[in-house]
Amino acid sequence: MDEKNKRTSFYQVLLKLIAGNSQWWLTPMLIIILLAILVILYLIQYKPSDFIYSLF
């Protein structure tokens, strides 16, 4: 029982941490996604090949 409470509280803390500090994980996430979009656009524009389709 005690352990279950402990686990719940751990998830609660984790959830609180993620929900309350979104700037810490959202910013790198958005930066990476933006960079990846730029990389894909670069690949399509400057390195087109028949291998590009295997990317999708």
Least distance in Å: CB of 23 to other proteins?
9
- Contact letters (x/-) for other proteins, 12-51, by CB under 8 A? -----xx--x--xxxxxxx-xx--x--xx-xx--xxxxxx
Are 25 and 18 within 8 A, CB to CB?
yes
Interface with other proteins, residue 55, by CB under 8 A: yes
Q: Please tell me the distance from the alpha carbon of residue 51 to that of residue 56, in angstroms, as a whole number.
A: 10
What gap in Å lies between CA 30 and CA 2, rounded to an integer? 39
Work out whether 10 is an interface residue with other proteins (CB under 8 A).
no
Query: What span, in angstroms and rounded, lies between the C-alpha atoms of 30 and 38?
Result: 12
Site for other proteins, rule CB under 8 A? 17-18, 21, 24-30, 32-33, 36, 39-40, 42-43, 46-56
